[in-house]
A and B are shown apart, each in its own frame.
Chain A
Amino acid sequence: MTNNLPTVSIDHINKSFGEFTAVSDLSLAVYPGRVFGLLGPNGAGKTTTIRMIVNITAPDSGRIEVFGRQITPELQDRIGYLPEERGLYRKMKVGDQLKFFAALKNINGKEADQRVDRWLARLKLMERKNRKASELSKGMQQKVQFTSAIIHEPDLLILDEPFSGLDPVNVEVLKEIILEQRGAGKTIILSTHQMELAEKICDDICLINRSRKVLQGSIRDVKRGFSRNAVALRLQGGDNVLQDRLLVSKIERHSDGVEVLLAEGASAQALLKQLIEAGAKIERFEIIEPSLNNIFIEKVSEAE
């Protein structure tokens, strides 16, 4: 697998349901050995795009290629998919369920048994192997669902909101596995609302809003394109200065300070000067890259 050939390439696809346009003129390429973040607000068209990649629905027009070819049932075996809408057979034992999912991906017999054991151990679920799914906590069920998507060790792993409902410890476990898969040269497509996580895991992102792509590129490039001077501050007083729309376009308050985006034409120097003149007591003043979260919010609200 070379790094030049995309695992997934989407070429000007459109999809609508009756009057409603779900995806319009979307093109993107996802490369092996990278984590691709598909971001966007609810109803932006992320899930529809993913469904077209895994061949659950077909685009109205445009072309999707996976592993350099039009998708076929055989190629589906090389894809692992964890949808946002997911569940387990309630009355089936965890081990049996995983073996069933493995069988659907053409992994049977001893090989399947070994993989089930290996992955259950990895996710610390071994002692639940013979329990029914309905007896598991929600978080544990989530982990079993994740395992069902990865049990056949696919070349392309597509995860739709994999972290929702998980505690921080398990988020770490999943994150570790995802990064490990990336290291092994697999391709991962990740859709999430959790921007802090996306920022830490993703190499490339594509932001979709209202069925259209609004932003795409590697996280580095995207952030660089947005480094229109964001400033992190910890200070006492100076509130009037921060409210000045000529200086600051947006304030975000955290527990240990504020993050502001400078207005068009304003400079960090000017802000610092004004704050000092206003008598504010400044503990921290740092020019930072904007968070993915801020970029997301700004891009999405721009369109409103």
Chain B
Amino acid sequence: MRRFFAVVKREYVQRVRSRMFILMTVLGPVMLSLFGFAPALILSIRAGGPVRIAVVDQTGKLYQGVYDSLMDKAEMSESTPDQMNANVLNKDASERLQEIDDQEEGNFELEEVRPGGRSLNEIKKELDQRVLAKELDGYLILPANLLQDGKPEYFARNTGDLFTRKSLEEALSRAVRQQRLAEANIDARIVQELSEPVQLDTIMKVGATGGVRDSGEGFALVFGASFIMYLTILMYGQMILGAVIEEKETRIAEILFSSVKPFTLMMGKLVGVSLVALSQLAIWGLAFVAFVVFGVGLLAARGLPLHIPNVPLVNFIYFGLFFLLGYFIYSTIYALIGSMVTTAQEGGQLSMPIVLLPLIGFYLFLPISHSPDSSFAFWVSMFPFFSPMTMLVRIVTQTPPLWQIVLSLLLGFGTVALLIWVAARIYRVGMLMAGKKATIPEVMRWVRQE
């Protein structure tokens, strides 16, 4: 045991003391927030001025409506059903998109082109010229029968501008709808009131103890936990790989093997590096909590309501357990790879496919959240490489019986122990074979060997 602790201590102290660790601890959150904000920042960059569009309104009734809805942001509160779905999963993202939409709508310049006795073709020709001369970015033709079943046409230099297209479509739909209603003698204001959208704000979860309020925070937390799990695996997997290869590259292993069993050494390294990872996460976590407490205090001072996630305490324990399981499952795979190769480059190549495994677990989110008690969900949540993500989804959607959770944890940690055992055997034999990369049949033989 003391040998094990000596290995753990060395691994931990050496890494935590390193400049890299200190740098990453400081820069990590900065980089994370960059990843979070950069897409929004980039999307919000508007190159060039407002989009200039000419409208040829052959109905003679719609131009004002289109103009109003494109220029007036106040009326832009309607959400489409698919945006609402997105809200549950990723509120931030859809809000950001909405903001960008809003900016976009403030950036149109409309002009009405009256036919004035000219034929449509003449008007088109003239507008084409203006588009080519870059006086206009595009033009819309609203046919006379648009209010019945006609289709408007949009001509533009850049038809790939999805935001503009979407805004135009929405504005047109709204204008047409209002005009149709007006022609049917229905007051637009009444329509506005009547078509106020509904949001499923309070979702009652049916459990044995009666209805429980659940507004999807559990799900968001699982998503967050899985995301952090994935990031941690990506960041520290390589470190574990390097740690396992280190003794081979420095040829120090044989000195160690006269004092430490390969299994103890491997375990010590895994635990040592994991403690480094957990320390870093803890520092970030505390910083985040401090930030939130500070931020919440600030919000409260401004009289804004606080929002505390409504998640049962036991779920946090499950988060912790399955997070550790996920972390250890994947880091032992990295250790296993490290035991097979002799240089870091080889290890890097071999570990490429691993990055994909947890992604699959990620994508299993949707089918499982639809039917958390299906046999598919059951088996997937028992499979050690996916269970950390999938079992958490089942727990927050429709908590499975305790025995299933325990079984999933046992299978997972059992797999971890098995992987370490196999890795230690490969490590020892591969080590003493000195300097050549192992083939798969060789590795199989090493595992069986005494």
Chain A residues at the B interface, C-beta cutoff of 8 Å: 51, 54-58, 73, 76-77, 79, 81-83, 85-92, 96, 100-101, 103-106, 145, 148-149
Interface residues in B1-59 by Cβ distance below 8 A to A read 2-3, 6-7, 9-10, 14, 18
Chain B residues within 8 Å of A54, by CB: 257-258
B255 pairs with A105, CB closer than 8 A: no
A57 pairs with B432, CB closer than 8 A: yes
A104 pairs with B434, CB closer than 8 A: no
How many angstroms from the CA of A58 to the CA of B450 in the assembled complex? 9
Q: With A85-B251, A104-B7, A105-B259 given, can you name 16 additional A-B contacts, CB distance below 8 Å? A: A55-B258, A56-B254, A57-B432, A73-B261, A81-B254, A81-B258, A82-B255, A86-B251, A87-B250, A89-B246, A90-B250, A91-B14, A92-B10, A104-B256, A106-B2, A145-B255
A148 pairs with B258, CB closer than 8 A: no
B contact face: mostly helix, strand, loop, or mixed: helix
How many angstroms from the CA of A74 to the CA of B97 in the assembled complex? 66
Q: Is B304's beta carbon under 8 Å from chain A?
A: no
B255: contacting residue among A90, A103, A149, CB under 8 A: A149
> Most A CB atoms within 10 A — which of B7, B14, B18, B260?
B14
Chain A residues within 8 Å of B2, by CB: 103, 106
Closest to A90 in B: B250
Chain B residues within 8 Å of A77, by CB: 259
Chain B residues within 8 Å of A148, by CB: 255
Chain B residues within 8 Å of A57, by CB: 432
29 contacts between A and B (CB under 8 A): A51-B254, A54-B257, A55-B258, A56-B257, A56-B428, A57-B432, A73-B261, A77-B259, A81-B254, A85-B251, A86-B251, A86-B252, A86-B254, A86-B255, A88-B250, A88-B252, A89-B246, A89-B250, A90-B250, A92-B10, A96-B14, A101-B255, A103-B2, A103-B9, A104-B6, A104-B259, A105-B259, A106-B2, A148-B255
A100 pairs with B250, CB closer than 8 A: no
Chain B residues within 8 Å of A86, by CB: 251-252, 254-255
Q: How many A-B residue pairs have CB under 8 A?
A: 65
Chain B residues within 8 Å of A89, by CB: 14, 246, 250, 252
B10 pairs with A87, CB closer than 8 A: no
> Most B CB atoms within 10 A — which of A73, A88, A100, A104?
A104
Closest to B257 in A: A56
How many angstroms from the CA of A56 to the CA of B255 in the assembled complex? 10
Give per-residue flags for B408-440: 1 if the beta carbon is below 8 A from chain A beta carbons, else 0: 000000000000000000001000101000000
How many angstroms from the CA of A101 to the CA of B247 in the assembled complex? 14
Q: Which 5 residue pairs of A and B lie closest in terms of their CB atoms, listed nearest first?
A: A87-B251, A87-B250, A81-B258, A83-B254, A103-B6
How many angstroms from the CA of A86 to the CA of B385 in the assembled complex? 37
Chain A residues within 8 Å of B256, by CB: 104
Chain B interface residue count, CB cutoff 8 Å, equals 24
A76: contacting residue among B246, B259, B434, CB under 8 A: B259
Distance in Å: Cβ of B24 to nearest Cβ of chain A = 16
A56 pairs with B246, CB closer than 8 A: no
Closest to B249 in A: A87
Closest to B18 in A: A91
Closest to B450 in A: A58
A83: contacting residue among B246, B255, B260, CB under 8 A: B255
A104 pairs with B252, CB closer than 8 A: no
A85 pairs with B259, CB closer than 8 A: no
Chain B residues within 8 Å of A81, by CB: 254-255, 258
Chain A residues within 8 Å of B434, by CB: 85
Chain B residues within 8 Å of A106, by CB: 2
Distance in Å: Cβ of B216 to nearest Cβ of chain A = 47
B254: contacting residue among A58, A85, A101, A105, CB under 8 A: A85
Distance in Å: Cβ of A87 to nearest Cβ of chain B = 4
How many angstroms from the CA of A104 to the CA of B250 in the assembled complex? 18
Chain B residues within 8 Å of A149, by CB: 255
Give per-residue flags for B211-251: 1 if the beta carbon is below 8 A from chain A beta carbons, else 0: 00000000000000000000000000000000000100011
B14: contacting residue among A76, A88, A92, CB under 8 A: A92
Chain A residues within 8 Å of B9, by CB: 103
How many angstroms from the CA of A23 to the CA of B440 in the assembled complex? 27
Chain B residues within 8 Å of A85, by CB: 251, 254, 434
Chain A residues within 8 Å of B7, by CB: 104
B250 pairs with A56, CB closer than 8 A: no
How many angstroms from the CA of A4 to the CA of B363 in the assembled complex? 71
